[in-house]
């Protein structure tokens, strides 16, 4: 439901309205739909994928739920239609209008807020291109190496999971670069033992950015 503008722990309580409507619609769907072999075959696709998203992915990222959205929309529409057919035409119409209005307002607000946002990894790369030299610098990161490999493959970028791995790699290097930079998300502060404010902070987009928490940039001398 979060992917359809429903409520989530870090969103407004007003989103409880479309969430409630969606829940009621799905209840009407499961109560009235005559399941046969075709629907069970469709479930072979939907149920395993949903379990994989819940157990193996981060459900806070709406993009993981996108493949399920067409099926979910059809289920919601069917539930509202059945409610209308069974004598609840007025209530069903109100639900449809409320759901449409809430989703439209939510979508418009998000577009206005994030339409000019630059993803946190791109902000980071642009900052480094302006303030660092790829020849004399080395970057340590946890999950962001793929961005560097794609946008700036000439940089020396290495993956480390914590402070111990970082120190081991630095001490084992034959040549120590002039500038050592560390990049990680706010949720990884404990692993890296951060004690000082970062050199730069890059805000992430919670809806379209893989680094939704943002990124922090440090230099080794600040640790």
Task: Summarize pLDDT for 46-84 with one digit per residue, the tens.
Answer: 788 888 887 877 666 667 778 888 888 888 888 888 877
Above pLDDT 70, what percent of the chain?
Answer: 83
Q: Which residues constitute the domain of residue 78?
A: 2-114
Residue 9 has pLDDT above 70, yes or no: no
Copy the structure tokens of residue 39.
């629907």
Average pLDDT, the chain: 79
pTM for the full model?
A: 0.63
The predicted-structure confidence for 125-143, as pLDDT tens digits, reads as follows 899 988 888 888 898 888 7
pLDDT of residue 2: 46
Same domain, 109 and 135: no
Same domain, 20 and 70: yes
Same domain, 46 and 61: yes
Same domain, 160 and 211: yes
- Report residue 91's pLDDT band, with 50, 70 and 90 as the boundaries: confident
Same domain, 74 and 147: no
- Ranked by mean pLDDT, the top range of 37-51, 111-125, 198-212 is 111-125
Candidate from 91-95, 141-145, 206-210 with smallest mean pLDDT: 206-210
Copy the structure tokens of residue 52.
């994989």
Asked which of 114, 139, 160 is the last residue of a domain, the reply is 114
Q: How far is the C-alpha of 43 from the C-alpha of 30, rounded, in Å?
A: 13
The predicted-structure confidence for 158-175, as pLDDT tens digits, reads as follows 888 888 888 888 888 888
Overall number of domains in the chain: 2
Asked which of 114, 135, 163 is the last residue of a domain, the reply is 114
pLDDT of residue 61: 66
Same domain, 148 and 107: no
pLDDT of residue 221: 65
Residue in the structure block whose two tokens are 């440090």? 218
Same domain, 48 and 109: yes
Same domain, 33 and 94: yes
Total Cβ atoms within 10 A of residue 99? 21
Listed residue (121, 139, 148, 97) closest to 204, CA to CA? 121
Same domain, 24 and 93: yes
């Amino acid at each position: 439901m979060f992917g359809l503008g429903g409520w989530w722990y870090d969103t407004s309580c007003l989103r409880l309205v479309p969430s409630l409507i969606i829940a009621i619609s799905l209840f009407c769907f499961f109560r009235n739909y005559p399941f046969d072999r075709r629907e069970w075959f469709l479930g072979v696709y939907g149920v395993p994928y949903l379990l994989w998203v819940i157990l193996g992915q981060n459900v806070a990222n709406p993009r993981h739920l996108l493949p399920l959205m067409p099926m979910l929309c059809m289920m919601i529409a069917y539930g509202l239609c059945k409610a209308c057919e069974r004598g609840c035409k007025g209530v069903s119409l109100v639900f449809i209008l409320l759901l449409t209005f809430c989703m439209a307002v939510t979508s418009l607000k998000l577009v206005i807020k994030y339409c000019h946002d630059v993803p946190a990894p791109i902000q980071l790369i642009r900052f480094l291109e302006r303030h660092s030299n790829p020849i004399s610098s080395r970057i340590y990161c946890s999950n962001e190496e793929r961005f560097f490999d794609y946008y700036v493959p000439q940089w020396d970028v290495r993956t480390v999971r914590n402070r111990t791995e970082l120190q081991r790699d630095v001490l084992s290097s034959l040549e120590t670069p002039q500038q050592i930079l560390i990049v990680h998300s706010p949720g990884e502060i404990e692993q890296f033992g951060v004690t000082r404010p970062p050199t730069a902070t890059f805000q992430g987009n919670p809806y379209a950015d893989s680094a939704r928490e943002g990124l922090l940039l440090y230099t080794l001398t600040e640790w």
